[in-house]
Amino acid sequence: MHTDSEAKKAEKAQMQEAEKRKLEEIRRQIDKIDDEIAKLLFRRIELAISAREAKKRLEKPISDAEREREVIGKWRERAENLSMCVEMKVNERIKDICEEMFMQIGSEIVKYTLRIEEEWNMEEKKD
């Protein structure tokens, strides 16, 4: 015969198992999104290389400070829009962290895009 204590333990174990399955599903979804982000970043790199080729034909410098500020500014806007979208769900500190993350993403995208373009340029000069 089961005691109340055994029944509670069994119920708790079932709830924990359900939560584990839920967590695994959430992680699968996150992995899927990460895969999509990676594909989009690779596509962005391809387009940046194409832009570099166009700049070269136009005899423009690879680095364009105005465009860099524009890209980072757009990431700032995305962060602000994100904050509005999640306003009801998170506190102010979490919104600040999300905005900081988006600004950092924008800055890193610009930084690494320039590095790729410069490396590509150096490789061409070798030929």
Is residue 109 within 8 A of residue 44, CB to CB? The reply is yes
Mean pLDDT of 95-108: 85
Residue 34 half-sphere exposure toward CB, CA atoms < 13 A: 6
**Same-domain pairing of 65 and 46:** no
What pLDDT sits at residue 1?
A: 53
Tens-digit pLDDT profile for residues 67-85: 989 998 888 888 877 766 6
Mean predicted lDDT score pLDDT of the chain: 86
Q: How far is CA 42 from CA 35, 115, 116, in A?
A: 11, 14, 12
Last residue within a domain, chosen from 60, 93, 110: 60
Residues 68 and 120 in one domain: yes
Q: Which domain holds residue 92?
A: 61-127
The last residue of one of the domains, among 13, 41, 60, is: 60
User: Is 68 in the same domain as 54?
Assistant: no
* Structural domain total, the chain: 2
Q: Report pLDDT for 5.
A: 87
pTM for this one?
Answer: 0.72
Give the orientation angle of helix 92-126 with respect to helix 65-85, to 10 degrees: 150
The residue that leads in pLDDT, 3 or 14, is 14
